[in-house]
Amino acid sequence: MEIVFLAFILILSIFLGFELINKVPATLHTPLMSGSNAISGITLIGAIVSAGSDHELIATILGASAVAFASINVVGGYLVTDRMLGMFHKKKLEGKK
Amino acid sequence: MNAAILINLAYIASAILFILGLKMLSSPETARRGNVVSSVGMLIAVVVTLLNQGIVDFTWIAVGVIVGSLIGVFAARTVAMTAMPEMVAIFNGFGGLASLLVGWAALYGTDATTFLAVTIVLSVLIGGVTFTGSIIAWGKLSEKMNSRPMLFTGQQIFNSILMLAIVACGVMFAMDPTNLMYLYILIGLSFVFGVMFVIPIGGGDMPVVISLLNSYSGLAACAAGFAINNLLLIVAGSLVGASGIILTKIMCKAMNRSLTNVLFSGFGSPKTGTKQVEGTVKPIVAEDAYFILEAASSVLVVPGYGMAVAQAQHVVKELQELLEKNGCEVVYGVHPVAGRMPGHMNVLLAEADVSYDVLQEMDQVNPRIDNFDVAIVIGANDVVNPAAREDEGSPLYGMPIINVDKSRTVFVLKRSMASGFAGVENPLFFKDNTRMLFGDAKESISALVREFG
């Protein structure tokens, strides 16, 4: 039953993803990619559990490296997306506010 | 309250914030806040995960987070906008590698059931392919590697055997999860497969590959979510997976090619169309180009990867301002596959402070294309090649293009007469209304700007 439940969530999320992303305009496709890239760094939370548990040493090593790689993804991804989106402007009004 | 319940309730909140964040990306006005919303979701998820009672030691977590964050901050701050495609590529790869490691680590501390073994196989496989595939994509995009497609005889046979071996190893491991030998072989094979998957794909097809790898990095997180039984990983991973698939579809449609064709055909080897190109090339100098521009009342700018290479976006913006001051309307026509990743041109022009409401899509500029007095093509080639419309024998035939040849005058800024990524002759250069402005794009536009001055 567990598998069915997880699969159910999976299918619904994929459909939700299609609906959401279809509305993103072409202008924002690069920030969309880097931003969704940061979201895929969600593996970080799985990595944290592995790195902190007292299982075999190898699990800790695997977990800690996964934490590092996923953090690059999350931190770098969100920051660079923010930097990019900060550049998108509409025509500036004469005499800045 | 039970910590496990608290954690899962917080995960629901994170999932909602991810969804809202993506929703806010549907408009440039809310996009930046959307990114913040999404990052708050991530922060909540990370913080509550630390409450997990299985965690006994925080040392390695702290080390990993600090090292990763420092690298992330440094990369995000220093990367040039022109280098965005390779940065996204390498980040995809790290995401895939992290999922591979998490899937692998899931093996320890629990009794491995067949279901667990299958999910580990999937996360290791998808994660591994994403990792090495992205490294190769990064190499090709940053020109550390030759971006031409790499093909060798027996490639397809080799790939088929590789796939069979992967399936066999996966099945063997799922049947006997205590035998780690199969897992190690599987990791190695998925690395090889990632390499084999990207090397036959040429530089011009990179927008497709990078979108696809983006999708894989999400699916890898999703598979890891199955392995460690974590719903948030499944939800977030599949959102990203879906996003990458949609982008891949848009890119393929914009090149009028199927995904299988992109992945397996090794596009990029020189091919010639059936029609003989007629006419002569008519060069023009900046001075004469200026007189035409000065008289124009509407100008269309079509940027391509060449604009990124020449770093010409800032002078283009200068030219735009001068033209607008002269009472001329300036619009940018951006083809979906212009540049090396989806939306690449838009980011570069945004960097140069071009307002996003003059950045228009192909379908917006094509209906009024014959009303433009001048179309300036900057470092774009295949996306404005009329052979896609006229020459049934051309490999580009059927690809939707920006029909610049139908505007009154076309300026093509180009270094030389070399052909585009697809290696196809461009009849646009020989049309009666086309003038070639040879030289570095940045130099040529600076020369035009000086003429105005």
Write a three-state SS string for A16-30. HHHHHHHCCCHHHHH
- Chain A residues lying within 8 Å of B71, measured CB to CB: 68, 71-72, 76
| Domain boundary assignment for chain B | 79-264, 286-452
Going B394 to B398 to B399 to B400, the CA torsion angle's sign is positive
Amino acid identity for residue B412 in this structure: V
Q: Do A91 and B61 touch (CB under 8 A)?
A: no
CA atoms lying within 13 Å on the CB side of residue B188:
8
Q: What token pair was written down for B372?
A: 């433009």
- Name every chain A residue with its beta carbon within 8 A of the beta carbon of B99: 43, 66
Q: Which of B82, B101, B135 to mutate to test the interface with A (most CBs of A within 10 A)?
A: B101
pLDDT for position B49? 93
Distance from the Cα of A95 to chain B's closest Cα (Å) equals 16
What residues form DSSP beta bridges with B303?
B378
CA distance B184 to chain A (A): 14
Q: Does B60 touch chain A (CB under 8 A)?
A: yes
CB B23 to CB A37 under 8 A? no
Domain B286-452, second-level architecture? 3-Layer(aba) Sandwich (3.40)
Query: Encoding tokens for residue A84?
Result: 């990019």
> Least CA distance to A54: which residue of chain B?
B56
> At residue A4, does pLDDT exceed 60?
yes
In A, which residues are within 8 Å of B217 by CB distance? 37, 40
What is the structure's pLDDT at A95? Answer: 38
Interface probe with B: pick from A1, A4, A19, A45, most Cβ of B within 10 Å: A45
Residues 199-238 of B with CB under 8 A from A: 210-211, 214, 217-218, 220-222, 224-226, 228-238
Where are the domains positioned within chain A?
Answer: 31-87
**Low-confidence stretches of chain B (pLDDT beneath 70):** 1, 265-278, 418-424
Question: What is residue B276's predicted lDDT score, i.e. its pLDDT?
Answer: 59
Closest CA in chain B for residue A23: B26
* Of B189, B340, B99, residue with least CA distance to A37: B99
Interface test with B, best of A69, A82, A94, A96 (most B CBs within 10 A): A69
Q: Residues of A numbered 27-46 whose beta carbons fall under 8 angstroms of chain B's beta carbons: which are they?
A: 27-46
Residues of B tagged active-site: 382
Q: In this complex, do A38 and B39 lie within 8 Å of one another by their Cβ atoms?
A: yes
**The dihedral sign for the CA sequence B131, B216, B350, B320:** positive
pLDDT at B419 (0 to 100): 62
> What ipTM is given for this predicted complex?
0.92
pLDDT at B268: 42
With CB atoms and an 8 Å threshold, state whether B341 touches A33: yes
Q: Has residue A92 got a pLDDT over 70?
A: no
Tokens read off for B97: 């590698």
Strand partners of residue B267: B269
What was the pLDDT predicted at B418? 66
Put simply, whether B410 touches A (Cβ < 8 Å) is: no
Q: What is the mean pLDDT of residues A51-77?
A: 92
> From CA B453, how far away is CA A81, in angstroms rounded?
36
| B131 Cβ under 8 Å from any chain A Cβ | no
What is the pTM (predicted TM-score) of this model? 0.89
